[in-house]
Amino acid sequence: MRVEIWSDIACPWCYVGKARFEKALAAFPHHDAVEVVHRSFELDPNRAKDDTGPVIPMLAKKYGMSEAQAQAAEDNLGTQAAAEGLAYRTRDRDHGNTFDMHRLLHFAKEQGRQGELIQALYEANFAEEASVFGDDERLVQLAVTAGLDADGARKVLADPTAYADDVRADEREAAQLGATGVPFFVIDRKYGVSGAQPAEVFSQALTQAWGERSPLTLIDQGGSGNGDVCGPDGCAVPQQG
């Protein structure tokens, strides 16, 4: 069974929602048979790479609230994150363009390290002091932390076309699926879960999707199901007629 998660590194609810989903997945009896794939979604795709700034004024302007109200919202997010065992800096965070991070995540997927990199990026953005925006070497350091080759990561970041089509394809697919915000979870292309739902909701979705998987229907000549095959004990020996 496959679970696809559309998210953005700049999205705090994606950070919290990932932890809640993973809590449900860890308790799911068939978790070893679940493949998790992270898909790209930019909250601000038109933002310039060098356009960075503090979070609180941005939130106040975007949602038409005072900076005190924006800070209260961040404090609430910090409480929600802490409840999931996550570190979260409610003061002095910044924000910016995440396109290069998504390109790196596609590179990491090819290397089998996507899960490690997205967690490193989340923790760096929401819990660590050093910014993840506008600094390629910072991203290279995080890629190495996730088990990726430093030179390989630098090569991706130096070429703005590398994995760019993969990011855009993910974003188009999100739109086709009706995702207008993130996190957005798609289970076996059959069920969608929108938002950082409680772990119990993810548990229910995983259980329901697993239970409704269609058993394989075998088709063979004569209906015997005894066609010649090779298996762990060897291959069937053709019998003389």
Residue 40 dihedral angles phi and psi, to the nearest 5°: -85, 140
Q: Report, as ranges of residue numbers, the positions in the chain whose pLDDT lies below 70.
A: 214-218, 220-229, 231-241
Which SS3 state, helix, strand or coil, does residue 38 take?
A: strand
Q: Given the structure tokens 């409704």, which residue do they identify?
A: 212
**pLDDT tens digit string along 82-98?**
999 999 999 999 999 99
Give the burial class of 211: count Cβ atoms within 10 A of its Cβ; 0-12 exposed, 13-18 middle, 19 or more buried: exposed
**pLDDT tens digit string along 107-159?**
999 999 999 999 999 999 999 999 999 999 999 999 999 999 999 999 999 99
Between CA 118 and CA 142 the distance in angstroms is: 10
In this prediction, residue 213 carries a pLDDT of 82
In this prediction, residue 221 carries a pLDDT of 55
